[in-house]
A and B are shown apart, each in its own frame.
Chain A
Amino acid sequence: MANHDLTPTDDPERHLPPDHNPLPALDDDQAGHPSASAFQQVQASPEFAELRSRFRRFAFPMTAAFLVWYFAYVLLSTYAESFMNIRVFGNVSLGILLGLLQFVTTFLITWLYIRHANKNLDPLAASLRDKLEGDAR
């Protein structure tokens, strides 16, 4: 784009002879940068609306769920001690068990989100990105 004819600058990190500088793909921050109207067009497109809703329909309820579950655990531990002190097996109380379950759900939500993002978000995001950046070149 417009910046290709900039004066070559000294670049100690790449050690290239001056006539090889600049390398457009590396030096031009604006290369492949879509225009403002392109962004607005994409924002209004049904594909983007679909991507946004796929993301939000997973992330928002999941965030609400784990926050409720975490604060329920904190509140039970602080205000329902005798309930949390019930022994489930041996010396392990209900509170310890629910605490370990917090670890399990954290790992589980991480796994679910990664799976959701890889399967349902990434392909759609990539096609929108390619379209935007391709148009801008």
Chain B
Amino acid sequence: MTALQTTLGTPWLNITIFAVFVMITLVIVIRVSRGGRKGKEFYTGGAAFSGRQNGIAIAGDYLSAASFLGIAGAVAFYGYDGLLYSIGFLVAWLVALLLVAEPLRNTGKYTMADVLSFRMQNKPVRTAAAISTLAVSFFYLLAQMAGAGTLVALLLGISADLAQMGVIAIVGLLMIAYVLIGGMKGTTWVQMIKAVLLIIGAGILFFWVLGKFGFNLSDLMGAAAAKGNSETAGAGDKLLHAMSKYGTNKLGFISLSIALVLGTAGLPHVLMRFYTVPTAKEARRSVSWAISLIGAFYLFTLVLGFGAAAIVGMKTINSLPGKSNAAAPALAFYLPGAGTAGTVFLAIIAGVAFATILAVVAGLAITASASFAHDIYNAVIKDGKADPTSEVKVARATVVVIGVLAIIGGIAARSLNIAFLVSLAFAVAASANLPSILFSLYWKRFNTRGSVWSIYGGLVSALVLIFFSPAVMAPIGSTKPLASAMLPNLHWGWFPLDNPAIISVPVGFILGVLGTLTSKETNPEKQAEMEVRSLTGAGAEKASIH
């Protein structure tokens, strides 16, 4: 088992299974694509997916490598706090289900900005919404690309810098290929395939681990604690107690919870998925499918995490590259007995983890390119008069630019903490996007100034607070460098929390109210149209018929 000190299993087998996945999905993408030269085809796959298909794709889009590897690892090391973290990601979907998904489907066409600018002055609101969309998508994209680098070190035994950069570049190029060839239709298929593989893989591990402990959660937790205690006295007990991870930064965790529960329904790549179904009813069905799958998946990861702590042990996991992120793959390796079966099982799980990154980045790329082409190029630069063909051309060119930027950014960000980048994306989505979405849909008086203030206010306050937080720099007055920060030697920090949401979300809502009340603008005609459309679906975008 000496190989285990540097890597798990057999790298070439991991690579082969990954390559097989890439080939199968590429073939499917080519087969389902119809060129996607038309806007509707490229952006929404013709809005012709069923609710169930879209729900599976949403799960594929949402369950990133960070949630598969990150949450399983958090449970393996912090037990209870890992569960606490995953619940925010699930409960958040109720905001999408109850308040956002259906009205969004009924009032918009391709992007979040369609809805926000519906009854406002088009250009200022659309510009703001597009900037915020691009910011959120870019942070999320960086997190995924950086995650690809970490994953490679862990699963392929590649820790050399150049090789990691090479893998990040390959992920970026594959993403460009999926989106250019398949448009939204192809991307959706990649997400569906990946979601099914990921949930089946995690489900097998779940039943295997639970079966080992007689389907008794208490026994499993007890075994995890006992193993931890045998390695380091007291370490196992911590798994069963609250606040073993967040105990030192409670307010920071509450802030993170706000970002998670309010951020999901403001993530542009999630919102865009609601346009790929023909009706609001199907959008509702999508979310209920997504909630079932995502909920089941987080229950699986809870058992996976405790299983990894009980069967592999924290000490062994910590000795692997990737540390806590290695919990789920290590479990796949040790569960069948660390022999040939373990090697094969690990390779499958590793392949699924890679597939996860590809599906998520493709969804982000199509969202960002749609926002640039549809909102900025067509609506702002061309006054809404660009013909659909040239708009899609711009979108396709943007995909290439985004791919290249993501490769460069991913390489630069590969040492950054992935969870931090993801929580940043959620915080910006919750502060800049959600207030404006909810006000547009449910507050009659809301107007252009309110919307613009809310978006920019939420965005800027979130970014400024993050910049002066311990995640980026050392606090003012401290003398030692802060090793965990992005800029450990800069001592300008004045914001004490890692996550800005507890301040920046209220800022987004309050500025929305202030901006609205200080402006006299109203548009009763468009307000009536938006409200009636959002609830009845009259005049909503139809699916294209093939």
Contacts and interface: CB of A to CB of B under 8 A. Distances in A.
Interface in A60-87: 62-63, 66-67, 70-71, 73-75, 77-79, 81, 84-85
Contacts of A59: 98-99
Contacts of B524: 40
Interface string A8-36: 00001100000000000010000011101
B41 interface: yes
A43 B257 CA distance: 37
Interface in A82-137: 84-85, 89-93, 95-96, 99-100, 102-103, 106-107, 109-111, 113-114, 117, 121-122, 125-126, 128-129, 132-133, 136
B525 A39 contact: yes
Interface stretch (B237-245, B315-323, B467-475): B237-245
Given A12-B37, A39-B533, A55-B535, A78 B253 contact: yes
Interface string B395-414: 00000000000000000000
A117 B284 contact: yes
A52 interface: yes
Contacts, number: 168
B536 A129 contact: yes
B250 interface: yes
A84 to B, nearest CB: 5
B91 A52 contact: no
A19 to B, nearest CB: 20
Nearest to A77: B242
A41 B481 CA distance: 65
A26 B94 CA distance: 34
Contact of A81 (B217, B243, B261, B299): B243
B94 A128 contact: no
A128 B291 contact: no
Tier of interface size on chain B = 35 or more
Contacts of A71: 257
A43 B241 contact: no
A63 B532 contact: no
Contact of A75 (B225, B254, B261, B287): B254
Given A78-B246, A89-B218, A106 B241 contact: no
B93 A106 contact: yes
A106 B505 CA distance: 23
Contacts of A106: 90-91, 93-94, 291, 295
B-side interface mostly:
helix
Interface string B225-245: 100000000000000111100
Given A75-B254, A78-B250, A110-B288, A92 B295 contact: no
Interface residues of A, number: 59
B160 interface: no
Contacts of B216: 90
A26 B537 contact: no
B254 A78 contact: yes
Contacts of B529: 36, 39
Contact of B291 (A32, A43, A63, A107): A107
A63 B292 CA distance: 18
A85 B80 CA distance: 10
Given A59-B98, A73-B87, A36 B525 contact: yes
A108 B159 CA distance: 46
B476 interface: no
A15 to B, nearest CB: 11
B83 interface: yes
Contacts of A26: 544-545
Contact of A91 (B98, B225, B257): B225
B222 interface: yes
Q: Most chain-A Cβ atoms within 10 A of its Cβ — which of B225, B250, B285?
A: B250
Q: Sorted from nearest, which 6 A-B pairs have the closest CB atoms?
A: A90-B218, A132-B538, A43-B528, A91-B221, A39-B529, A40-B528
Given A43-B528, A114-B285, 11 more contacts: A52-B535, A66-B94, A70-B88, A74-B253, A78-B254, A102-B90, A103-B87, A110-B94, A110-B292, A121-B535, A129-B538
